[in-house]
Amino acid sequence: MHSSLKGILPITALIGATACSSGPLPAARAAGVERMQCDASTSSQDQIVGSLKVLRVQPLYTHIMTGGDNAEERVNGAKLVVRPPSGIGVEELTRALQCHGARTLLGQLSSTPNDPYFLPDRWVSINVRPESGNFTITLSSDTVHDNIELYGRANHYADEHVVATDPGLP
């Protein structure tokens, strides 16, 4: 190998490695959230998470230009519409879900296969907003694969937390 390239290759590899990362490691992000946002007692936050009733789930898409006039849609996360838990506001629900995800990632809570607020060794961004008297929870991660997994988990979670409806309704 030419001697002038020996110094360039390690630098290029380092730049490439840092350019691909999307921020702190998931465990470091989770530890920061846990330290700054989570209450000492997890029981009230876990009760909030467990009490959610899902009205619907849908994938979130991003339009990606693939060249020329061509574009494709890629799954960029999941959207859950839930009934607001009694007496819980948007900020409190956001905090409860983020703490749940952080603590599960850190191994402080046991995980379930259909938990949409957690992916093993990956960070899940959670945002809650009011929508037509309900709350919308948007979930996303760093890759299309992770976002497809989140959407699948959200669908299964919704099946387990669906709002009871009148069987006589169409």
The 10s digit of each residue's pLDDT in 91-119 is 999 999 999 999 999 999 888 889 999 99
**Mean per-residue pLDDT, 45-67:** 88
Q: Per-residue pLDDT tens for 119-146?
A: 999 999 999 999 999 999 999 999 999 9
* pLDDT, tens digit (0-9, with 9 covering 90-100), for 7-16: 444 333 333 3
Mean pLDDT of 47-73: 87
Q: Is the Cβ–Cβ distance between 55 and 81 less than 8 Å?
A: yes
Sorting pLDDT into bands at 50, 70 and 90, what band is 37? confident
- The answer on pLDDT for 68 being more than 90 is no
pLDDT recorded at residue 21: 47
Model-level pTM greater than 0.85?
Answer: no
Question: What pLDDT score was predicted for residue 167?
Answer: 52
Q: Which phi and psi angles does 44 have, rounded to 5°? A: -70, -40
As to burial, measured by CB atoms within 10 angstroms (0-12 exposed, 13-18 middle, 19+ buried), residue 148 is middle
Nearest residue to 34 (alpha-carbon basis) of 88, 89, 90, 106: 106
Is the pLDDT at 73 greater than 90? The verdict is no
Tell me which range, 66-70, 86-90, 159-163, is most confidently predicted by mean pLDDT.
Answer: 86-90
How does residue 165 score in pLDDT terms, banded at 50, 70 and 90? low
pLDDT above 90 covers what percent of the chain? 57
- Terminal alpha carbon distance of the chain: 72
Q: What are phi and psi of 87, to 5 degrees?
A: 75, 10
Domain segments of the chain as ranges: 24-160
Identify which has the larger pLDDT, 66 or 134.
Answer: 134
Place of tokens 């703490």: 99
Mean pLDDT of the chain: 83
CB-CB contact of 109 with 34 (8 Å):
no
Instruction: Give the Cβ contact number of residue 105 at 10 Å.
Output: 25
